[in-house]
Homo-oligomer: A and B are copies of this chain.
Amino acid sequence: MDAVFKALADSTRRDLLDALFAEDGQTLTALEERVPMTRFGVMKHLKVLEEAGLVVTRKRGREKLHFLNPVPIRLIHDRWVSKYAEPWAAALTELKTQLEDS
């Protein structure tokens, strides 16, 4: 899970995930144009995302297609974010209840 957090820490990588969210299965060359960086930088970032399980790939001839895998984000949501986000929602609910009672 640490690898996922670390992967999400870089804005370029989050942009790449956004690009794949908008259009899945893109090739390296296609992704390169979405980001102000050379092909090699993008490759490194994609490797980090892949090793974190956030991106999964498939080769088609000489091309490498990149697909978004939302499962790790989902896991972080369930096992981490919700822990901090839910008490907030609970507090709001309680506040709402108190307001309605008054």
B-binding residues in A (CB < 8 A): 2, 5-6, 8-9, 11, 14, 17, 21, 68, 70-71, 73-74, 76-77, 80-85, 87-88
The smallest beta-carbon distance between A63 and chain B, in angstroms, is: 25
The smallest beta-carbon distance between A45 and chain B, in angstroms, is: 14
Rounded to whole angstroms, the CA-CA distance of A81 and B73 in the bound complex is 7
Can you tell how many copies of this chain the complex includes?
A: 2
Q: Is the CB of B21 within 8 A of A14?
A: no
Listed A/B pairs (13) with beta-carbon separation below 8 Å: A2-B11, A5-B8, A5-B9, A5-B14, A8-B9, A9-B9, A21-B83, A21-B84, A70-B85, A74-B88, A76-B81, A77-B81, A77-B85
